[in-house]
Amino acid sequence: MKTLDGRHAVVTGAGSGIGRATAELLALSGARVTLIGRHVGRLSETADRIGDDAFAAPGDVTDPDSLAAAIDAGRDRFGPIDILVNNAGGASSAPFLKAGAGDLRAMLALNLEAPAEAIRLVLDGMITRRQGRIVNVASTAGLKGYGYVSSYVAAKHGLVGLTRALALEVASKGVTVNAVCPGFTDTDMVARSVETIVGKTGRSEDEARAALASGNPQGRLITADEVAETIVWLCGDGASGVNGAAITVAGGEL
């Protein structure tokens, strides 16, 4: 059903994984979608898969000028922005004492500061039109601790906190702000985690994937499509009463 007809959505990290799945589902729901990310080839491939309702706007979300230029290009193409999905993110893995302050700064820049900047660039227009949906893709790491990824956990906790605080500010202004918190999801980021586990422990790839899936009581990795379904639901009118939520998609892990 075209439940989002006429709405303009911006998705960061749209070239693969959860971002690509979300962009495709938003388009199927009637939205026009601006795709933002660093990998031009992946963005172009996603745009080609979607068709005329997608526009690839390459940009680095950690560079405020680059991010602003990408969002402005999308606005020029499809008009005012009704939906923002802050999906771009990443994790680094190291014991806390070996990670260093630079690791924390990098994780905060990518997973917290970039989403906040994207929100700054679109929120005023949403408030003026009294219509807007902001969905921040956090993680179960935004709700609990995991060892050896302390910087990532700290950043995602910050993103959930930002979501909850901002939701209160805009609750009466026609805008909702929510977070989706996936567990380990079958994406490129998990594939990199598997490589790290294999390299450091000598386990096989299957054993490494099983170790990651074991935290999910369903005994499996979450799929990108499952996360996308939740995100797109939050973008629709049927979720207008959901605000400040941190929804887990993790098979019961939390």
> For residue 168, how many other CB atoms are within 10 A of its CB?
11
Q: Which of 42, 110, 137, 152 is catalytic?
A: 152
From residue 94, alpha-carbon distances to 97, 100, 153 in Å are 8, 9, 12
What angle is formed at CA 15 by the lines to CA 233 and CA 218, rounded to 5 degrees?
55
Are the CB atoms for 30 and 237 separated by under 8 Å?
no
Question: Residue 167 and residue 137: Cα distance in Å, rounded?
Answer: 15
152 annotated active-site = yes
- What CA–CA distances, in Å, run from 130 to 169, 182, 189, 238? 13, 29, 36, 16
* Sheet (strand 54-58) strand order: 54-58, 32-37, 8-12, 83-86, 132-137, 175-182, 246-249
DSSP string, 203-231: --HHHHHHHHHTTSTTSSPBPHHHHHHHH
What is the Cα–Cα distance from 44 to 22, expressed in whole angstroms? 15
Which helix (H) or strand (E) segment holds residue 162: the answer is helix 150-170
What distance in Å separates the CA atoms of residue 11 and residue 43, rounded to the nearest whole number? 11
Q: Which residues are catalytic?
A: 152
